[in-house]
Structures are given as C-alpha cells and as structure tokens.
Amino acid sequence: MRKTYSGPRNPGGAPSIRTVLGICVVLAATVAQPCLAEQSGDRTFRLLTFDVGNSGPRLGATRGSGERDIVDVHNAITYLYRSGASDLPAIPIDMRSLIEAGDVPTRAVRDLHDRITGVRTSGSFVEPGGDRRVFHPPTGVRYLPPVTNPSKILGLAGAYLRRAPDGTPGGYDDAPYPSLFFKSPTSLSGHNGEINLWGLLTRGVYEPEFAVVIGKTARAVPEADVMDYIMGYTLANDVSSRDLPMGSHSQQGGSMSKSVDTFTPLGPYITLKEDVPDPHNLEVYGTVNGVRHEWPIPNGNTSFLTFTIEETIAYLSERITLLPGDLVLLGVPQPSMFFAEGETMEVVIGNLGTLRSHVVSTPIPGHVPILPRMGADR
C-alpha cells in the first residue's frame, strides 16, 4: 500500500479538463457572454450553500474568493423563466442532491451562473428582491457547510510526512496504511461561523485540512479510477479538544473529542476538481487572530501527504462504501495550532478560498455538565 515518497506528486488517472468539460450541458445558444469587469479577482467557479434570514438552505454559485456576488441558483431559474426563457436546466434543490445527480446538472449550474450574470451585465436585469432575490452580496448571507447532510465524515490522522529539516524521517513516514477516524455530521459548521466550546473545555487544537467531496458511490475503486469518483474539494477545520472530560478506554479514539457540535467548520465553497489541476501541490496554512502559524517542520503542502488522494480513497472504498456528498478530510501537516475562547482562526489552502471561524464558549442554557463518576463501570 505505502509508496515511496519522492517529492511533489501528480494525481494519476485524472480525466483531462477537456474531457470533463465535454459532458457539460450545452446552453451556448442562449447564454450571454459574461462580463465580470465590475468585480475583480480570481474567476474560479464555486458552489456553496447559504441562508438568508433563517429561511433555510439555498443552493448558491459564485466566482472568485469572496469578492463577488452570490447567485441564488433556483431564484435565477425562476427569474429567467419569468423573462421568457424556455431552455432552463433542471437543478436539484440542495447540494447533496446535486452531487447525487452527477456531472451534467453540476456543470449546468455553472452555465446558469454565467448566464444570469451576463443578463445583469447587459443592463436588462431588474433585481426582484425579497424571497426571490437572485444576487446576494457575500457579506449579506450566512454561509452554511457546502454539504449540510453528508452520510459520513472520515478523517485521517498522521497523514503528512514529517521529515525534519535534516531529512530524518518522522513518526508517520513509514505508515503501512492510512489511519482513519469518524466525525459526526452534526459537528459541521459554516464559514464565518462559531466554534463553541460549550463551557466544557478551555482550549483545543485547530487543524487546517484539505477535504475531498465524493461525487458518486465508491466501492473498491482502483487507484487509477479514483478521480472519476471525486466531485471537488473544500476546506475543513478538524477541531480537536485537548481537555474535554471523556472516557479513557482504548476504543474511545478521537471521534468524541473531534465530534463536538461546531467542531468541523467546512467551506466556504466547493471548488470543482477540474479547477484544481494539481491537488498534490497546494500550500496549507492557518492563522490565529491574523497571525500566520508556521509549521515546526516545513511540510505545509499537500505534496507531503503520506498517501496520495488516489491511494487514500482506494483504501477507504475497499473497506467502507463512500456515498455522494461524503467528506474525506486528508489530515493536518502537524496538530500544533492551539486556540482559545475569543480568538478568530482561518484556514487557507491553495486556490480554495479562506475558511474563517470565531471561538466562543456559550453553555447550553439550563444544562448542568455531567461530572466524573467514581466507582466501577457497570
């Protein structure tokens, strides 16, 4: 299973950008050419889930890294339909359903985003506003986890090579297999949201992690085919507690300390795999209160992953069936980034954007924490 590390890797078996784009829904006959000169910055396409006024999750699309307006996908379809368009795509209602539906509707969302943006740029767009609003400023929405309801979240421990500057191997360089733990889907939180210590602990570690979004059901997938089963990538913060009262049995593992509510910030976006041409060469870092953390060993790049994405997904899918929308967190270079109440942290990875969280400690109202119980287990 373990392959010899020989520097930055290139993903194997990945379809070409030309091949992937060839399956897109063709709307060219009616799509106005987008002109985004009114907004600057990166034009990378993004998918997201957001909320406005606690009205419920909305499927969104944007370009860039937070400087451009967010398109409400289904309100855009309604607007174009009421404007006389008849060639509109069928788009599932939420992100997981969109992923389950496959590549064609996902690419159709990108075409729809560019189409409605082109209408606005042409000067003929009139914003309906209210519940039918199409364009939202990025500061006017509440970001939800891009996938709000994955069937499972799998995390990896000891996932990066930790060679010292003199080349001495670290403890994880010769691991025979990836090390797996589970995180509860209820631990998810969104960009610009809160990590709540709940009055149960005082400090923890936050872990900037590159996350894979599974695109279709994967069971015993060969390494050469893995990229066909990936929809895209996002950022994750694998928060771990360090002083949470919990059981001490060897089977306790890390799932409890990592699955506290709000302990898996995710987002802000999903970036499609074709927009990340080399996922094995992305810088990974984090900040606390605006100060960048420097890794003690300089391995903060996905080129240092002990196992490639292909190796990891092949290994996992041989043992656990992965479903569309499942999340695989590929681990942290080193779990050395401590945080406490009142601090703000950011995760930055390659061209995926920035994931920001604010640390609070707000106990559950009226709840009395469970105290340790002495005596024999029953």
The answer on 195 and 134 residing in a single domain is no
User: What pLDDT band is residue 248 in, cutting at 50, 70 and 90?
Assistant: confident
Query: What pLDDT score was predicted for residue 375?
Result: 56
Q: What pLDDT shows up at residue 281?
A: 97
Q: Total domain count for the chain? A: 2
Q: Looking at the domain assignment, is residue 368 inside a domain?
A: no
The per-residue pLDDT for 254 is 77
pLDDT at 265: 98
Q: What pLDDT score does 251 carry? A: 65
Average pLDDT over residues 214-232: 98
Which pLDDT score, from 0 to 100, does residue 231 have?
98
- Is 77 domain-assigned? yes
Q: What local confidence, expressed as pLDDT, does residue 253 receive?
A: 66
Q: Same domain for 213 and 329?
A: yes
Q: Hey, what amino acid is at 63?
A: R
Q: What's residue 359's pLDDT?
A: 97
Average pLDDT over residues 89-117: 96
- Find, among 10, 231, 15, the residue nearest to 105 by Cα: 231
> Could you tell me if 203 and 328 lie in one domain?
yes
Judge if 304 and 157 occupy the same domain. yes
* pLDDT bracket for residue 166 (50, 70, 90): confident
How far is Cα 164 from Cα 343, in angstroms, rounded to an integer? 30
Beta bridge partners of 189: 265
d(CA 311, CA 156): 13
94 residue type, one letter:
D
Among candidate residues 144, 163, 179, the one where a domain is terminated: 144
In a domain, 26, yes or no: no
Statement: residue 150 has pLDDT above 90: yes
* 184 and 311 belong to one structural domain: yes
Are 58 and 139 in a shared domain?
yes
Residue 17 is assigned to a structural domain of this protein: no
- What is the distance between the alpha carbons of residues 203 and 192, in angstroms, rounded to a whole number? 19
Tokens of 147: 């996938």
Cα–Cα–Cα angle for 57, 332, 184, nearest 5°? 40
**CB contact set of 46 (below 8 Å; sequence gap of 6+):** 61, 62, 63, 64, 268, 269, 270, 271, 353
124 is a domain residue: yes
For residue 313, pLDDT over 80 is answered with: yes
What does the alpha-carbon distance between residue 196 and residue 367 come to, in Å, rounded to a whole number?
15
Do the beta carbons of residue 43 and residue 59 sit within 8 Å? no
Note the pTM of the prediction, 2 decimals.
0.87
Q: Are residues 223 and 160 in the same domain?
A: yes
User: Same structural domain for residues 68 and 161?
Assistant: no
Same domain, 177 and 302: yes
Q: What is the pLDDT of residue 1?
A: 60
For residues 95 and 232, membership in a common domain is answered with: no
pLDDT for 294 equals 94
pLDDT above 90: residue 171: no
Range of the domain at 293: 153-360
Same domain, 72 and 110: yes
